[in-house]
Every structure is written in C-alpha cells, then in structure tokens.
Chains A and B, each alone.
Chain A
Amino acid sequence: MSSEAIIRLQNIERLFQVGDQQVHALNDVTLDIARGDYLSLMGPSGSGKSTLLNIIGLLDRPDKGHYLLEGKETTLYSDNEQARLRREHIGFVFQFFHLIPRLTAAQNIELPLVLAGIPPEQRAPRVEYILKSFGIADRAHHRPDQLSGGQRQRVAIGRAMVSEPKVLLADEPTGNLDRASGHEVIALLEEVNTKGITLILVTHDPELGQRARRQLHMVDGRIVSDHAGVS
C-alpha cells in the first residue's frame, strides 16, 4: 500500500503563536493516503483538520516533518515550485466558494488554465467540457451573484477540476448550502472520485463523513481514529 501512496505525511508538526502561547495545530501527524482514495477528515473546530488540509494542498508549510506528494519531498520546494505543484496536482473546493464576483461562471472555471499560461484556443474546449459534465452549461455566462449556492459550488468544483488534478481537497464544501444542494455537491464530488481522483473531505457533519471509504477523526492536532467506512 505504501508504494501506492500519493500523499505521505511523516511526523508533521505545525505550531501557531497565539498571544504568548504556542499552540500545536498539528502534533506529530503521520498519514499515508492511497491514490484514488476517498477520505473524510472529521473533528471539532480547532482540531487541526483545516490546517492538515492546507498543508496537503501546499498552501501552508509544516514546521517539522516530511510531506511527500507523488514521492517527491515538497518541504524542500520553493514557493514558486509549490505553486506549480498546486496548479498541476491539486484542486481546492471551499466552504465559501471563493468565486471571483466580476467573472462569469465560464471565466471562473477558466482561471487556473489562464494562470498556467495555456493558450485560449486550448482553454475553450476544456472549459466547455467541464461546464457540460457538471451540468452548468446553461449558466456559463452568469456571474456568481446570479447563481444559486449549489450552482456556485458546482462552478467551484469545475474550477478545481479543469486542470485535471490528481487530488481534490474540499473544506466543508456543503457548509454553506441547504441539504438538497449539499447532497448534490457531495454526489458530484463522489463521482469525480470514481474517476480515480483522490478526494479528501473536511466536514463537521458525521453523516457526510461516514460516506467516505476511510474516515479520520482529529482532536487537538492528532489523528485519534482512522477506520474504514461501510462502503
């Protein structure tokens, strides 16, 4: 199993300075995640699950320990190299969508390709494909404020998937949605996962978390339980 691990965390520590106190957001976390796995991260707020997600997403650096993404030691990489890894390997979905309000749905989805310097004629068909497969083709030229919450999150997932990443990180993706659209979004994420993309889901909601094949619970910066799901 370890040779197939797309993500390998070894003795990760992350410290935050809060006032004059040092807080261990992550305390000696060691974790292997297999390619194509479906993993849920649960735990009370402040347990470090978002910090762990940010470290996996290369948005944050651990203070100690090693992080191997596809077998490469990322902690030695420069900021720019990490940005490139993020662009090529990782997709993010956030609770508050983080769509750019002045851009249309299609333009929001296109953004990672623009940043990657892909020429417009190659971008168009990929955006088109994403819009179709996520069922938002008829909303392509709407701005985020003209979309429902569920549609916004679809656009956000589309944006995460357009650069064909291998890992999809979702931080409370349903936290800002009603139940129905929340379920739609989860179904969409799970569909993405069936295509072999590693899905890591941070959630408060035990019901959602229990859908994952592998379920982790965190308390005070440590992983306290790690067990397989029912499916």
Chain B
Amino acid sequence: MSIKDHLLFALQALRGASLRTFLMLIAMAIGVASVIILTSLGEGARRYVVGQFSSLGTNLLIILPGRNETTGGAPPLLSETPRDLTIDDAMSLLRNRYVRYVAPINVGSSAISYGGLERDAVIMGATASLLPVRHLKLAQGQFLPEMDAERTAPVCVIGAKIRDELFGAKRALGEWVRIGDRRFRVIGILVAEGESMGTNTDELVVIPVASAEQLFNTATLFRILVEIKSREDIPAAQQEVIDTLRKRHDGEEDVTVITQDAILSTFDRILTALTFTVGGIGAISLLVAGILVMNVMLVAVTQRTGEIGLLKAVGATSGQVLSLFLIEAILLSLLGGLVGLLLGAFGAWLIHQLYPVLPTMPPLWAVLAALLVAIVTGLIFGALPARRAARLDPVQSLSRR
C-alpha cells in the first residue's frame, strides 16, 4: 500500500469525523501557538535588550572610578578613597593603539533656564567624541566642537524635550540659556529618541566636560567611555587601559573596567534562559494536546472497530492497520501544528502591533521545534491507540455492528 494511499485513507477518515478532527486541531493548534507566542515574547525581550545595548554603542569599555576587587586583607574593600579619574587620564588612553574614541563623562543635575522658564535637567559634561560613541543624532545645529578637553566653552547641546519646554515654538539655536550660575549658548538640538538604557536623551543637556567640572566643582569624572576599534581587541585593550591607568595612579589599580560585551552576554544568557522557560511552559499545553490526540484516537478505534475488522478481513495486515492509524494521528497533529503556527505568527504580529518596541519574531528554532514536537506527539500518543487497533481480533470486531 503506497504512502499516497495511506495519506488519502487517513484524510478521508479525518474528514469522516469532522467535529472530532476540528476539536483536535484546535487543541494542537493552541499548544503550538502558545509555544510560538511565548518564545516570540522571550526572544523579543532579548532582542530589545540587545538592541538597547547596541544603541549605547558597540565595542565599548566603560571605566568607573574606584575598584571592585579585593586586594590586601579586608577591610577596606571599596572604601579606600580612589584617586580622581581625571580628564588627563582619559586623554592618555588615546595613545592606546586599540582605541578609536575616548569620551570622558561628567554628570550632574542643575537648573536650566531661559527667559522666565526654568527646569531641572541632567547636565552631561562630554567631548565631541560622545556623538559617535553614544550614536547620538542631531536634529539641528552642531555637536560640541572638537577642541582640547581641558578647555571650557560656553556652549551646550540640548535634548528635544528641553527645547520644547524652554523655547516652545521659538527658535532655540543661538539663544543663551542659564545653567546653574553660568550662561551657555545653544549650538545643537538632539533628535527625539526616547528612552535608551535608562538615560533619556530628550531631557539631556550636554556641555563641554571642562565646563561641567567647573559647574559642579569636581575634578573627577563620572566615567570614561572608550570605543575599541574591533571586537576581537577588547580583552587586550581592556588590559592595556588598566595598565595605563595603574601607572598614572602610582601603581594603584583604582578603576573598574566593564566591557559592554560582558554585560550584554550576561543579559543575553538570562533572556535566552527565560525564552526556554516560557517555551517550556508552552510545551505543557502541547503535552495536553498530545493526551487529547490519544484520547480522540482511542475513541476512534472503538468507534471504528467494525471497520478495523473489515480491513483485516479484506486482507490488511496488523502492520497496515497500525500504520493507517498512526498516519492518521500524525496527520492530525501536523495539521494542528500548522494551524498553530499561523495562529502563533498572528499572535506575535498582534503583540508587535500593540507594543512596537518589542521585536516579537518567533525564533526559527522554536517554529521547527514546535512542529517537530507536534509530529512526535502525534506519533507517541497515536502509538497506543494504533497498536490497540492493530491487535483487535477481526472475528470479534466484525461481530459488532
């Protein structure tokens, strides 16, 4: 008996019991769809976080003052007063051959006012390098000029929301604003981007780092962002940065260098695990669907006892009866799986429409796994009923109407 005949027979059998088939398809479809939607969500969350990190800039080293390693006996652990992380320190890193950009950063909060309007804003002291390192985009004007980082300049670049609130419909470029007790001229406006890794650039005011040191009366940097030329060089660059700074700090290793890669891969691992977990939860509904397949096939075997007897009377072997019922179960599961796939893809699409920031795409492995699991479920849970069918005694089966 050819495979085509097998399939045809199974299809006719499924059509012959359309309500039963329909209910089964729904059960299997829900199982497969839930796996796909849940893994899409997990994958979406992962991609969202990875995307956020890349928007922060790629191949980044983040240098913070103070170390987080224990040397000598405890205490002191972190309490040792670290040497300042200065602009000079930052600029010295430019001599490092792996480094492309160095962006020293100073952060504080201050009032910014224009005309009669005043509000608090996050003031970030930076250099021209911040633009490429943080992948910032300008809507109008220019960013901080290329100049010696030690020099102050009365210029600032403001976020879109700050401009809206202080200037409204008026022209902001070229105007003078007051930040703290100093005056700065607006030379650029950032593109409205919204949230990015916790800092909202729309509410940001960027001034030269030396000006920020004066404004906040501090000599230490908040952190230094270092962009490395290529991803492979990150470990070597990290070591060299630490060496350079140690030398400058009298042999004291009092900075912490975090690679963005390390943070990213940690998040990546956590979120992949999360995806697997929710996928596993979805798989439970697949299991339930499998048990339903078994139940339905058992009922089918009971209902079709006479038919099974007849098949044997007209010369079907037990093996043929077995494969007929198995193929029917697999076909049922596969059809349900395909319907579930469509349903799941639609669900993922719907979530993406509702939450556009979440890139919900069902991962390929989840799609394949869900289909495979559907087929295997059909095979496993179809096996018992099919065996029961194959073992039926033809005489007794035929004696029933």
Known: A98-B309, A100-B310, A115-B320. A59 touches B398 (CB 8 A): yes
Interface membership of A112, Cβ < 8 A? yes
Known: A98-B310, A117-B1. A79 touches B317 (CB 8 A): yes
- For the residues of B in contact with A, the DSSP-based class is helix
- Chain B residues with CB under 8 Å of A163's CB are 314-315
Q: Render A82-114 as a binary contact track against B, CB cut-off 8 A, 1 for contact.
A: 011011100010101010111100010001101
Within 8 A of B (CB), among A42-66: 54, 57, 59-60
Please tell me if the beta carbons of A103 and B314 are within 8 angstroms of each other in the complex: no
* Residue from B13, B317, B401 with most neighbouring chain A CB atoms (10 Å): B317
Interface membership of B306, Cβ < 8 A? yes
Cα separation A80 to B15 with both chains bound (whole Å): 29
Residue of B nearest to A79 (CB): B318
- Chain B residues with CB under 8 Å of A96's CB are 306, 401
- Chain B residues with CB under 8 Å of A111's CB are 311, 314
Q: Render B293-309 as a binary contact track against A, CB cut-off 8 A, 1 for contact.
A: 00000000000001101
Q: Which residue of the partner chain, among B1, B12, B313, contacts A57 with CB atoms under 8 Å? A: B313
Cα separation A83 to B312 with both chains bound (whole Å): 7
Interface membership of A116, Cβ < 8 A? yes
Please tell me if the beta carbons of B315 and A94 are within 8 angstroms of each other in the complex: no
Known: A98-B309, A102-B13, A119-B2. A59 touches B315 (CB 8 A): no
Interface membership of B281, Cβ < 8 A? no
- Chain A residues with CB under 8 Å of B115's CB are none
Please tell me if the beta carbons of B395 and A112 are within 8 angstroms of each other in the complex: no
- Chain B residues with CB under 8 Å of A83's CB are 312, 315-318
Please tell me if the beta carbons of A102 and B15 are within 8 angstroms of each other in the complex: yes
Please tell me if the beta carbons of B318 and A59 are within 8 angstroms of each other in the complex: no
Interface membership of A159, Cβ < 8 A? yes
Q: Render A107-133 as a binary contact track against B, CB cut-off 8 A, 1 for contact.
A: 100011011110110000000000000
Residue of A nearest to B9 (CB): A114
Please tell me if the beta carbons of A159 and B314 are within 8 angstroms of each other in the complex: yes
- Chain B residues with CB under 8 Å of A100's CB are 307, 310
Cα separation A79 to B321 with both chains bound (whole Å): 13
- Chain A residues with CB under 8 Å of B395's CB are 54, 59-60
- Chain A residues with CB under 8 Å of B306's CB are 96, 98
Interface membership of B51, Cβ < 8 A? no
Interface membership of B180, Cβ < 8 A? no
Please tell me if the beta carbons of B315 and A88 are within 8 angstroms of each other in the complex: yes
Residue of A nearest to B14 (CB): A102
Q: How far is the CB of A17 from chain B (nearest CB, A)?
A: 13
- Chain B residues with CB under 8 Å of A117's CB are 1-2, 5
Residue of B nearest to A86 (CB): B315
Interface membership of B394, Cβ < 8 A? yes
Please tell me if the beta carbons of A103 and B318 are within 8 angstroms of each other in the complex: no
Residue of B nearest to A91 (CB): B314
**Can you sample 6 A-B contacts with CB below 8 Å?**
A54-B395, A59-B394, A94-B310, A98-B309, A116-B1, A116-B315
Given A88-B315, A94-B398, A115-B314, 7 new contacts (CB under 8 A): A87-B315, A94-B310, A96-B306, A103-B12, A112-B315, A117-B2, A160-B314
> What is the interface of chain A, defined by CB distance below 8 A to chain B?
54, 57, 59-60, 79-80, 83-84, 86-88, 92, 94, 96, 98, 100-103, 107, 111-112, 114-117, 119-120, 159-160, 163
Q: What 10 A-B pairs come out closest when comparing CB atoms?
A: A87-B315, A102-B16, A112-B314, A83-B317, A98-B310, A59-B394, A86-B315, A92-B313, A80-B317, A115-B316
